[in-house]
Amino acid sequence: MLYINGTWRQAQSGETLTVYNPATGKELAEVASGGRIETKEAIDAANEAFTHWKNTTGLERSTLLRKTAELIRENGEDIAQTITKEMGKSITEARREIISGANYVEWFAEEAKRIYGETIPAPQKDKHLMLMNEPIGVAAAITPWNFPLSMITRKITPALAAGCTVILKPAPNTPLTAIKLFECLDKSGFPAGVANLVIGPAEEIGKEFTTNPIVRKLAFTGSTNIGKKLMKDSAATVKKVSMELGGHAPFVVFEDADIDEAVAGAISTKFVNSGQTCICTNRIYVADEIADEFSTKFAQKANKLKVGNGLEEETKIGPLVNAQALEKVSRHVEDAKKHGGNVLCGGETLDLPGMNGFFYKPTVINEATEDMQIATEETFGPVVPIFSFQTEDEVISKANDTNYGLAAYCYTKDLSRGLRMTRQLEYGIVGINDPAPIAVQSPFGGVKESGIGKEGGRQGMEEYLEKKFISIKY
């Protein structure tokens, strides 16, 4: 169902799209699929609602958002099961996403009350200078399937907290989680038109978002190529954009690192969400003298991760999202083998009885070289190459040798080296001995072709606010 101007409805054309479970290959649901007409209606409704929503107090907006956070938690198990069914991740990880999704809503509910202005010292006696923060206007958001709940809450809840009205387009394969979130928003009592949901053909909806002059802000998470296209299309109406695009995270292990901690950290950053996150480790660089020990321990652990249907409690690695994802992973592994890579574990698809899903075994490849596809392209799967290095300068230059700049990880017991690495790594997020450098309190975002803008933290609100300068002569 679409949710436009406070009403649940079908598309005018009656068209629907089918949602499948990637673990079983079975159909899950049919949902309404709207296009340009519905998107335009949603934008108009958001525009109308903005006239009063922008004048609500932060406290009013905060109260509604807190209610939404509560409802997400109350319905947590149901939403978690929906996440696992429509995109495959393990139920344990889906439950974690409920917690982080609700925490984002709560964080921005709090921030809604703290939108301050500024007084600026004037250069002359008869002037008073001020800066006011105002909501930017109607905001559109386009989200991917890998975190079907938290990617949405990171965008639409700071928008709502700031006083913007929103239209969301979720990924076509994960609309069910988005619908459940909008049920929570609906029950929270947001006025009609303040939050709208359109599901349907990406290009058509995207075109309306980017060309309609009413939309003042576009927030996107997805592939770099689509992000570039959306930026280009948004240029004609000079929209503010925030882009969370691809990544190619290096994971650097120095000879003085705690090897077991580094192995555990690499396992979690590589295999979370079956390797389908933009901050997943893509390249592991290990100091020469410990490369064999690290690789052996890492491959042993990776090999033990249970692959299966995410709904089974003991599953650690669910299926990949679709056939193209499985094809890409297989292609990267075959290419790595051709270029002399040594497969320490995995390296093949997995057929599970009674299931028709996109399963791939956790795969570790050492003796990796720069000419492998996997060394530069984002794999988005449970596969990782291990490179060895000799000097700090060498590994810095290799780690930075990419157009991406989202997340980087570094393991060392030497804090000075950790600080040097932090300053040298051209990434928006750096984890030193920390495999999970992400929190609702902190800004998430990349540099270079990994994106523009931040999500989360106080900076996440700024994406939806404009600064108005006021000069009063008296």
Which region, judged by CB under 6 A, interacts with ligand ADP, from 153-161, 166-174, 288-296, 301-309?
166-174
Which region, judged by CB under 6 A, interacts with ligand ADP, from 124-132, 199-207, 295-303, 426-434?
199-207
The residue behind tokens 């386009």 is 142
Q: How far apart are CA 85 and CA 89, in angstroms?
A: 8
Tell me if 223 contacts ligand ADP by CB under 6 A: yes
Check if 244 is active-site: yes
Query: CB of 107: closest distance to ligand ADP in angstroms?
Result: 24
The residue behind tokens 């689509």 is 226
Among positions 7-46, residues that touch ligand ADP (CB under 6 A) are: none
Judged by CB under 6 A, the residue of 2, 69, 71, 226 near ligand ADP is 226
Query: CB of 198: closest distance to ligand ADP in angstroms?
Result: 11
Among positions 116-145, residues that touch ligand ADP (CB under 6 A) are: 142-144
Tell me if 203 contacts ligand ADP by CB under 6 A: yes
Check if 70 is active-site: no
Q: How far apart are CA 139 and CA 47, in angstroms?
A: 10
- Catalytic residue chosen out of the listed positions 204, 244, 449, 455: 244
**Cα–Cα nearest to 394, from 221, 201, 254:** 254
C-beta of 230 vs 368, nearer to ligand ADP: 230
Tell me if 174 contacts ligand ADP by CB under 6 A: no
DSSP 8-state class, residue 288: G
342-345/363-366 β-pairing: antiparallel
Q: How far apart are CA 434 and CA 446, in angstroms?
A: 18
Structure tokens at 167: 């239209």
Structure tokens at 182: 């909008």
Q: How far apart are CA 224 and CA 127, in angstroms?
A: 46
Query: CB of 229: closest distance to ligand ADP in angstroms?
Result: 6
Tell me if 440 contacts ligand ADP by CB under 6 A: no
What is the Cβ-side half-sphere exposure of residue 17, based on CA atoms within 13 angstroms?
19
Do 232 and 391 contact (CB within 8 A), yes or no?
no
Task: Calculate Rg over the CA atoms of the chain.
Answer: 23
Tell me if 292 contacts ligand ADP by CB under 6 A: no
Q: What are the residue numbers of the active site?
A: 244, 278
Binding residues for ligand ADP, per CB under 6 A? 142-144, 169, 171-172, 202-203, 206, 222-223, 226, 229-230
